[in-house]
A and B are shown apart, each in its own frame.
Chain A
Amino acid sequence: MKPTSKFGVLVLVAPAVLIYGFAVVAPFVGTLGLSLTRWNGFNLPEFAGAANFSRAFHDKIFISSFGHVTFYIVATLFVEVLFGLILSGFLSSHRFMGFPRVALFIPVMLPMVVIAVLWGAVFNPDYGVLNAAMGSLGFEGMQKVWLGDPKLALPAICLVSGWIFSGFYMAIFNAAFARLPTDVIESARLDGAGEFRVFWRIKVPMIRQVTSVAILLCITGGIQGFDLFYVMTNGGPYNTTEVPTTYMVKSVFRDMEIGYGSALSVLLTVVGLVVAIVFRTVQKSRQTEVEY
């Protein structure tokens, strides 16, 4: 449809473009530019070429932060996506699941910081409920300084993440299962297929599209992880929970290395985009069946 006036189009489109351009596009381009400089935020930025990038490739903490985030992503694929899928499977095949359906989603809508502070208290060695519960059940030997132990801190964060987001993926799968046509499932049941077979052989393959979106969300969301890490451990103990974003924030806001931080940000963005593109390509090349 032809617009009545150019002015009308301008009024409709300009506000969104201007706000977005000012607060996202310009800073995005600016971060790309800053990644090629050395800058402490006070003097003038100095052009540094690719120096920041070659430094990043030799920065042990930065490289290990990718290792930690990979661990986190793999773990959360299990405790968030797979567990959410299984929960949703039970919800979709059983009655009286109203309470689990509502309750398990609660953590998703609460602020992550609040959850991180709460779980920090749960894990607290002095008054935390976890050690207290272990003590009263007779497992004194398993009482730990959870978030202060280099071996346990990262798994503990993954567990909290699972506590939050398994409910989120469950909700996504609930919606997908609810859309499935019932005739195929009913006829499989009539043929004598048990509930587990119906789930893994029929229902799960039928929602493949949704599952791959969920996996992609879990990966791209995981790469950007920050809140839980910052509040629960802030990268410690001994950098064992350092993830790219916590390290980036330290480089820029603690060490005042704005150019270097920007290079880290560019690398993180590139990794994220590459993962997303590769994932989509692989997924498209495998698409053969009818979609639901």
Chain B
Amino acid sequence: MRKISVWTAIVWIYSLFSMLPLLWMFMSAFKSNGEIAAHPLGLPTQFDFSVFSDAWEAGGLGRYAINSAIVTAASTSLVLVVASMAGFALSKLEFRGSGLVMGIFTLGLLLPIQSYFIAQNQIFEVFNLKDTRMALIVPYTAMGIPLAVWLFKSYIDSMPRELFEAARVDGTTDLEIYRYLMVPIIRPALVTVGIFTALGAWNEFLLALLYVQDDSLKTIPTGLLAFSSKYVTDYRMLFAALTMVTVPMIAIYVAFNRQIVSGLTQGSVKG
């Protein structure tokens, strides 16, 4: 029995109010630098879209977006494949060392990046991984593994043994069971894990800042930071870049908001 009261209006007003920084950002992208500085609150007087192509090409935003897409796609698909395989084995197969493996992954749920990035940096230096895309793909994959394994394992734990034993009667191997029986039925878990892993990789900043100095390999977070110091007085370009990074993400979010909200909350709460 839900109702309408003065609080409906208050919460609405607050929500609109909290969108103001984003609205200001969109509007400022269309204003000239002079207008932005002299009338921060004013509306744009003309709608000139050329600033967006300037930011995308001259500012290098396009390159950052491509790098982010490559790093995100690679690390997310790796996490989905290796963690679902491990989760399946840990849930349904009896083998020596399974307790140890599960223990290591459980410990991993508690370790923050801060507990290992210093030596990780040194190791990546030794392996000449720094300033390559692998310097981000490898740690993003590794960081995603513990929670993903845990989620896949609990998802598969809830499925009846008989299902797998029936498949086994026909002489199917474990790998075949994984490929033809497991993958199709864990699809909902794949979506959840995929959402939070992909968003985590897309938004990650600390390691990207430390491991990639080469401007042509930077991802959106570090690229945008470089962009903002390069165009520190060209406000219009900065707002255009911010707009171009946020608008597509907001559009995707509005289209899939249920999946994204549940993916992101599960991705942090269950850990």
Q: A129, B21: Cβ atoms under 8 Å?
A: yes
Residue of A9, A24, A94, A119 near B3 (CB, 8 A) is A94
Residue of B nearest to A166 (CB): B18
Alpha-carbon separation in the docked complex, A93 to B1 (Å)? 8
Inter-subunit contact B94/A2 (CB<8 Å): yes
Question: Does B114 have its Cβ within 8 Å of any Cβ on chain A?
Answer: yes
Q: Which residues of A contact B202 (CB under 8 A)?
A: 111
Contacts of A12 in B (CB 8 A): 85-86, 88-89, 93, 174-175, 178
Chain A contact residues: over half helix, strand or loop, or mixed? helix
Cross-interface CB contact of B114 among A9, A126, A224, cutoff 8 Å: A224
Q: Identify which of residues 92-128 in chain A touch chain B, using a CB-to-CB cut-off of 8 Å.
A: 92-97, 99-100, 102-106, 108-114, 117-122, 126-128
Are A104 and B12 in contact (CB-based, < 8 A)? no
A17–B168 Cα distance when bound, in Å, is 26
For the complex, what is the distance from the CA of A213 to the CA of B3, rounded to whole Å?
29
Q: How far is the CA of A236 from the CA of B90 in the complex (A)?
A: 47
Among residues of A, the one whose C-beta sits closest to the C-beta of B78 is A19
Interface centre among B10, B112, B161, B238, by most chain A C-beta atoms within 10 angstroms, is B112
Find out whether the CB atom of A129 lies under 8 angstroms from the CB atom of B41.
Answer: yes
Tell me, rounded to whole Å, the shortest Cβ–Cβ distance linking B31 to chain A. Answer: 10
Using known A-B contacts A20-B145, A106-B250, determine if residue A3 contacts B8 with beta carbons closer than 8 Å. Answer: no
Q: Is the CB of A9 within 8 A of B264?
A: no
Judge if B225 is at the interface, Cβ distance under 8 Å.
Answer: yes
In the complex, A139 Cα to B100 Cα: how many Å? Answer: 62
Residue of B nearest to A83 (CB): B14
B189–chain A nearest beta-carbon distance, Å:
15
Chain B contact residues, majority secondary structure: helix
Whose C-beta in chain A lies nearest to the C-beta of B13?
A: A100
Given contacts A27-B117, A112-B205, contact A20 B104 (CB under 8 A): yes
One digit per residue, 1 when the CB lies within 8 angstroms of any chain B CB and 0 when it does not, for chain A 146-161 equals 0000000000000000
Query: In the complex, what residues of A have CB within 8 A of residue B14's CB?
Result: 100
For A16-54 the 0/1 string (1 means CB < 8 A from B) is 110111111111111101100000010000000000000
B261: Cβ under 8 A from any A Cβ: yes
What 0/1 readout, one digit per residue, does chain A (76-92) give for beta carbons within 8 Å of chain B? 00000000000100111
Is residue B119 within 8 Å, beta carbon to beta carbon, of the partner chain? yes
A143–chain B nearest beta-carbon distance, Å:
12
Asked if B118 contacts A265 (CB within 8 A), the reply is yes
Q: Knowing A1-B161, A23-B138, A90-B7 touch, does A117 contact B41 (C-beta < 8 A)?
A: no
Q: Interface residues of A toward B: which range?
A: 35 or more
Give Cα distance in the complex from A134 to B86, angstroms: 56
Complex contact A17–B119 (CB within 8 A): no
Chain A residues with CB below 8 A from B141, complex form: 19, 23
Interface residues on B, range: 35 or more
Closest to A169 in B: B265
B62 to A: closest C-beta gap in Å: 16
Given A3-B174, A12-B174 in contact, is the A105-B89 Cβ separation under 8 Å? no
B181 contacts A by Cβ under 8 Å: no
Cα–Cα distance between A175 and B268 once the two chains are bound (Å): 14
Write out, one digit per residue, whether chain A residues 225-236 have a CB within 8 A of any chain B CB (1) or not (0): 011001100000
Asked whether A117 lies within 8 Å of B11 as measured between CB atoms, the reply is: no
Residues of the A chain whose Cβ atoms lie less than 8 Å from the Cβ of B89: 3, 9, 12-13
A28 contacts which of B18, B41, B111 (Cβ < 8 Å)? B111
Chain B residues with CB under 8 A of A279: none
A288 within 8 A of B: no
On chain B, the residues within 8 Å of A220 by CB distance are 112
- The answer, yes or no, to whether A193 is at the interface (CB within 8 Å) is no
In contact, B40 and A172 (Cβ under 8 angstroms): no
* A95 B8 Cβ-Cβ under 8 A: yes
**Contact (A16, B225) CB under 8 Å given A8-B174, A94-B2:** no
A-B contact pairs, 10 of them (CB 8 A): A21-B104, A27-B118, A30-B116, A95-B8, A99-B15, A109-B199, A109-B264, A132-B40, A244-B114, A265-B114
Instruction: Give the B-binding residues of A (Cβ under 8 A).
Output: 1-6, 8-9, 11-13, 15-17, 19-31, 33-34, 41, 87, 90-97, 99-100, 102-106, 108-114, 117-122, 126-129, 131-133, 136, 163, 168, 171-172, 175, 186, 189, 213, 217, 220, 223-224, 226-227, 230-231, 244-245, 248-249, 252-253, 258, 261-262, 265-266, 268-269, 272-273, 276
Given contacts A111-B245, A129-B40, could you give 7 more A-B pairs where the C-beta distance is less than 8 Å? Answer: A30-B123, A34-B119, A99-B12, A117-B225, A127-B40, A129-B41, A268-B114
